[in-house]
Amino acid sequence: MTSLKFLLAPLILGSTLFLASPAIAHETMDGPGQISVSATGNSYQAPDLATVSAGVVTQATNAKDAMQANAEKMRDIFDALEAAGIQKRHIKTSQLSLNPQYDYKENRNEPRIIGYQARNTVSAKSENLERVGPMIDALVSAGANNINGVSFGIKDSVAAKSKARKSAVVEARRKAEEMAEAAGLSLGRVLRMNENTHSSGLPQRMANVMHNMGGAAAGVSTSISGGEQTLSVTVNITFEIGE
């Protein structure tokens, strides 16, 4: 059995980025020769969906008062979100907790409970990115004192994924043809093919949101930028090869 190994450098074509991984060509005595290649195609698209995670943290000397104070503030939070144009179906409770607060100064082995902390967090989704800044301002004005950040996405990513997938397949075939030609072989039919899909973007850092909130109190709306989302599809294809 003979073995050929090729390492291809990354190739950039237009706005599509292809990341090449090691491809192995091999031939066996029991079946047809094969070439296995991988290629990744990327598609870039501006997000059209944003999700804000925010809530209220309250403390009191007893559990009942901590939960009661939290419930009152969260009622204002929900009212503020609806007033900002966020539909009820896009508002979801993502965390609710009540935890004792301990004092370890006197005895670390047997800490003393000195109070309770209640935490309630909601996720609010907006399909209009221009509303995200004002939504954060409304949350803070209503009493939100815990904002985890903003995440962005794409409502319909089918077209973008399809573009990345086609680019990846084209590049994989090009690589296989180049390898077969260099080895003096002919490229045959596809024997196996699979794909992996993932997306990524630039998250809105919490530090940036908090920095802009200072301006929101003075009448300046919080600034939010969705940046660009990258949708990637990696294909792994095995071709038959012949003499």
Query: What confidence score (pLDDT) does residue 7 get?
Result: 34
> Whole-angstrom distance between the N-terminal and C-terminal Cα of the chain?
15
Phi/psi region, residue 176 (left: phi>0; alpha: psi -120 to 50; beta: rest), is: alpha
The two structure tokens encoding residue 17? 């980025």
How far out from the chain centre does Cα 103 lie?
38
3-state secondary structure of 169: helix
**Domain spanning 50-153 has what CATH number?**
3.30.70.2970
The two structure tokens encoding residue 213? 């909130």
| Sequence spans of domains, the chain | 3-46+157-200+231-242, 50-153
Query: What confidence score (pLDDT) does residue 37 get?
Result: 96
Each residue's pLDDT expressed in tens, for the chain with a length of 243 residues: 444 333 333 333 333 333 333 333 333 323 469 999 999 999 999 999 999 999 999 999 999 999 999 999 999 999 999 998 899 999 999 999 999 999 988 777 788 899 999 999 999 999 999 889 989 999 999 999 999 999 998 888 898 899 999 999 999 999 999 999 999 999 999 999 999 987 765 444 443 444 344 444 456 778 888 888 899 999 999 999 987
Query: What confidence score (pLDDT) does residue 204 get?
Result: 44
Second CATH level (architecture) for the domain 3-46+157-200+231-242:
2-Layer Sandwich (3.30)
Cβ(148)–Cβ(166) below 8 Å: no
Nearest to 53 by CA among 157, 218, 204, 214: 204
Query: What confidence score (pLDDT) does residue 136 get?
Result: 93
DSSP-derived secondary structure for 62-90:
SHHHHHHHHHHHHHHHHHHHHHTT--GGG
Query: What confidence score (pLDDT) does residue 199 get?
Result: 74
Query: What confidence score (pLDDT) does residue 225 get?
Result: 86
Give the contacts of 52 (CB within 8 A, at least 6 positions apart).
Answer: 123, 124, 125, 126, 132, 135, 136, 139, 147, 149, 150
Query: What confidence score (pLDDT) does residue 28 get?
Result: 31
3-state secondary structure of 135: helix
CB atoms within 10 A of CB 33: 21
Query: What confidence score (pLDDT) does residue 32 get?
Result: 63
